[in-house]
Chains A and B, each alone.
Chain A
Amino acid sequence: MEIRGPATYYDGLTPRMHEVALVLGIDHLTIRDLDGVLVSWPLARLMKLDVRRSELRLGSADQPDARLEIRDPRLVAELTAALRDLPKAPGARRSRALLAGGLVVAALVSVGLLVVFGIPAIASQLAPLVPISWEIAIGEEVKPQILDILGRSKQRGTCDSPAGVAALAKLSSELVEAADPPLPVQIAVIRTPVPNAFALPGGSILVLSGLIDKVATADELRGILAHELGHVVHRDAIRHVIETAGLSALFGLVVGDYSGSTIAVLTGRTLADAGYSREIEAAADAFAVTVMVRIGRNPAALGDALDHIAEATPHIGDQLTWLSSHPSTPDRVARLKAAARTVPPKTRLSEAEWAAVKAICP
C-alpha cells in the first residue's frame, strides 16, 4: 500500500525549492516532480531528522544535506505511522542509545576513579616536589583563613603567657628534635574551647586551648604533638592542599565552570576540615609511636588523650573536634597502648611547668 503526497525537496546542492510528490514504497522513498523522478532514497538509509505533528523532515545518509519537508498534516500523520519502526538514522537506534549510556557510565566511573585514586595519587607525587619555601608561603596564606574559621564568634588570639610558652617549648623541643622535620616547626596555642590541633602547610602546628584543657598529663600532649609532627614530616598538609585544589577543579569541570573560580573558593574553605584518610592517620600514629619511644615516653599516652577528648565533648559539634578526623577506634587505641617504651625519658616537666602550660591562655 503506497503512500503518496506533496512535499518540498531540497537537493543539498543549491537552495532551490522543488515542489515534489513523494511515493513511499516497500523499500524506497521516491521523490518526483513534474519532469519525472528526481531521486529515490532507500529506506534503509533514511534519516528522520524532525518528527512533529505539523512537520516531518527527512534526509538520507546518501545525500548529506538534502532535505524532504512534509507539511501536509494528513501526509505527516500517515508517514509518521508508516516510518515508526524505522530508526532515526541508519544503524542509529540501539547503538546510539548504547553509546550514550556507555558514555555516561564511563564519565561517572572516571570521575569516581579520579576522586578516589587519581587525584590523591597525583597529589602524593607532587607533594614532595613542592619546595619548602613555597610550602611556607602557602602556609602563610592559609593560616589567616583557618584562624578565621576557628575564631568566628569567639575571642581569637594566640595564647602567649610567657611561663606557658617557655614550658611548652621545653616540652616540645625534644619532640621536634627527635622528629627531625624537613620544615621549621612553630607551635602556637589558639584560644578556643574546641579540643583540636592542626598541622598547617609550612610547619606551623596550631594547638587549640580546648585541647590543652582536656589532656591530663604532659605525655598526652606530647603524644598529640608527636602525631601532628608526623603530619609535618610526611608533608600531609601540602598534599591535602593539592588534593583539594584538584578535587575542586574537577568539581568545577563537572559543573561547567571554566573560570577556575570554583578552585579558589572551595580550596580555602575545606582546608580547616583536614579530613585525612585512615592510611595517612595511621602513618602519623605510627610516627608518633616511634618518636615517643625514641624520647622514652609512653606512646599509649596518645590513646589516653583520645579517651579524654572523647569523654569531654558531647556538646560541641562533632566535625570540629580532633575526634572527627582522628576517630578513637578501639583497635587504634589498643595499638597505641601496646607499644612499649625502651629508653628512659630525658627531660621532665615540673609540676609548675605543666601548670604553666595548662594556663597558657590568660
Chain B
Amino acid sequence: MPSLGRVAFDSDTPGVVPMAIWGSLLSFLTLGIYRFWFTVKIRRELWRRAALAGSTFEYTGTVWEIVKGFLVALVILAPIWALYTLGTFLLPSRQYAGIAGLMTFVAVIGFVFFVYFATYRARRYRVSRTLWRGVRFHQTGSGVAYAFMNFGWWLLVPFSCGVSIPFARAQLERYRMTNTWFGDKRFESEASGSAMMPAFLLYLGLCLGPPLLLAILAFVTAGGLNHIGDQFGNLARFFETGDRSRGLPGIGMAFAVLFLGLAVFWLVAAPFVCWPIYRASEWRSFNERMSIGGVRFRSDFTAWELYTTYLVFLAIATGLMMAVGIVSGIIFAIALAAQMRETSLLPVLLIGGLYLLVLWGLSVARLKIFLFDLTGKLVRTTTVIGLERLGDTLSLRDKVGALGDDFSGGFDIGAI
C-alpha cells in the first residue's frame, strides 16, 4: 500500500510581510540594486516553507548568479529596444513607414521570443537550485526550442479558432516536466489536450455562450433586421431634420442596445473572469498525469481557491486606492483653502508620494497574496503517493547552464 503524504506549507510563521515591506523599500532606495538580494531572500523563504514528509525544500541560489543573468539579459535586450525605439520614431514619416513598421515588428517578435526563452531558462535555474533531502533537481531541454514551440502554437490559434489551446498547453507541460529531474530520476507526464477538451469547451461556452444569447435577444427585442434598419433611419432623420413623424426607436431598441452592451462587456471580461475555472481543472489534470519513478501525485486545488486569492488582492488594492483618493482630495482642498499658488510644489510632491506608497503597498500585497499564499494553497492541496519509491534516487551534481544563469532574477516577467 503506497504511502500518502501531503505536501506542507507553512503559512503561519510570520515574517513575510515585514520582509516584503523592507525589501521593496530598500530596492527602491538603492535604485533597484538591492533587488538581487531581495529576490534571493524571498526565494529562500518561499522554498523553506514547503515541506514534503517533514523535510523542507531548500533554495541554493546566490546573488551573483542572478546578477550574471541580468547582465546577459541586458546584452540581449539592448539591441531589441534600440530597434523598437527607432522604429516607433520613424513610423509617422511617409518615407520610412515601411521600414519602421518592419523594425518595430521584428523588435516585438524578438522581445516575445526572449520572454519565452527566459521563462524556460529561469525555470531551469530555479529547479537546479532546489534541494530536497540533499538531492538536487535539474532541468534539461532547450530554451530556444521552447520559444519556437510557443510561437508555433500561437500561430495555430487563429486557424483552429482557439481549439488548439488545450493541446498547446498540454504539450508544453509535457516538454517541461519530462525535462525535469530529481537526482537521476526523470519526471514523466501524460498531460493530454484531449483530456482537457471538456473543460475547455465549458470555458469557451461560458465565454461565448452568454454574448451569443444576448445578441440574439437584442435582435429579437429590436424586432428583426429590417426593423432595426428602419429605426436607425428614423433616428438619423430626427437628428438631421428634427422630423419625428415616422416615429422614433422605441423601448425595444433601448433594450436591444442594453443587451448588446452587456454582450460586448461579457465578451471582453469573461475570458479573464472564467479562466480560473479552466486553470484549476488543468492543474489537477496535469498533476494526476505526472509521475516520477513510480511516485504519483494528486491535487485537490479548486477554482474557488484561485478566486479568493484574486478577490483578496482586489479588495486590498481597492482599499489602498480609495484611501489615496480621499487623502489626495483632502490635500487639494487644503491647498485651495490655503490659497497656494497653482505652481506650488508641495501638493504635487505629497500626491506623488502617496502614489509611490500605493505602488509599494500593492507590491507587498502581491508578494504576500500571490506568491506566498497562493503557493501555499497549491502546495497544500497536493498529495504525493508512494514517496518511498524515490528511496534509491542518486544525486547527479549536474553542471547547469554555461552561465548558471537566471534571467528572471533581475527581470520582472511576473514569475517571482
Contacts and interface: CB of A to CB of B under 8 A. Distances in A.
Q: Do A and B form a real pair?
A: yes
Interface of A: 8, 10-17, 49-50, 57, 64-67, 69, 100, 103-104, 107-108, 111, 133-134, 136-138, 140-141, 241, 245, 249, 253-260, 263-264, 267, 317
B31 interface: yes
Given A137-B90, A256-B35, A13 B111 contact: no
A137 B93 contact: yes
Contacts of A13: 134-135, 394-395
B132 A65 contact: no
Nearest to B34: A104
Nearest to A9: B134
A12 B134 contact: yes
Given A15-B135, A107-B33, A111-B31, 16 more contacts: A14-B392, A15-B134, A15-B183, A50-B58, A66-B134, A104-B34, A108-B31, A134-B96, A140-B92, A241-B89, A249-B85, A255-B31, A258-B73, A259-B111, A260-B84, A260-B111
A50 B48 contact: yes
A133 B90 CA distance: 10
Most buried by B among A12, A14, A257, A317: A14
A14 B410 CA distance: 33
Contacts, number: 123
B391 interface: yes
B280 interface: no
B58 A137 contact: no
B96 A137 contact: yes
Nearest to B96: A137
B136 interface: yes
A237 B412 CA distance: 33
Contact of B85 (A49, A69, A245, A253): A245
Contacts of B85: 245, 249, 260, 263-264, 267
B395 A57 contact: no
A241 B89 CA distance: 10
Given A137-B96, A258-B411, A15 B132 contact: yes
Contacts of A134: 90, 93, 96
27 contacts: A10-B55, A14-B393, A14-B395, A15-B134, A16-B133, A17-B55, A50-B44, A65-B395, A67-B133, A104-B30, A104-B34, A111-B31, A134-B93, A134-B96, A137-B92, A137-B93, A140-B93, A141-B90, A249-B78, A249-B85, A255-B31, A255-B32, A256-B35, A260-B81, A260-B85, A264-B85, A264-B88
Interface string B325-348: 000000000000000000100000
Most buried by B among A10, A141, A260: A260
Interface in B268-295: none
A47 B85 CA distance: 48
Contact of A15 (B80, B81, B111, B393): B393
Contacts of A103: 33, 67
B74 interface: yes
A302 B31 CA distance: 42
B95 interface: yes
Contact of B394 (A14, A49, A260): A14
A64 B135 CA distance: 10
Contacts of A241: 89
Contacts of B32: 253-256
B106 interface: no
A107 B77 CA distance: 19
A108 B92 CA distance: 37
B77 A49 contact: no
Contacts of B324: none
B131 interface: yes
Given A15-B390, A64-B397, A257 B412 contact: yes
B91 interface: yes
Interface string B65-104: 0010000011001101100110011111101100000000
Contacts of A8: 55
Contacts of B31: 108, 111, 254-255
A314 B89 CA distance: 36
**8 pairs of A and B residues whose beta carbons are closest in the complex:** A137-B93, A10-B134, A15-B133, A260-B81, A12-B134, A254-B32, A141-B92, A138-B89
A224 to B, nearest CB: 25
Given A249-B81, A256-B410, A258-B77, A141 B91 contact: yes
Contacts of A257: 412
Given A15-B390, A254-B32, A133 B96 contact: yes
A182 B390 CA distance: 75
A242 B170 CA distance: 45
B413 to A, nearest CB: 8
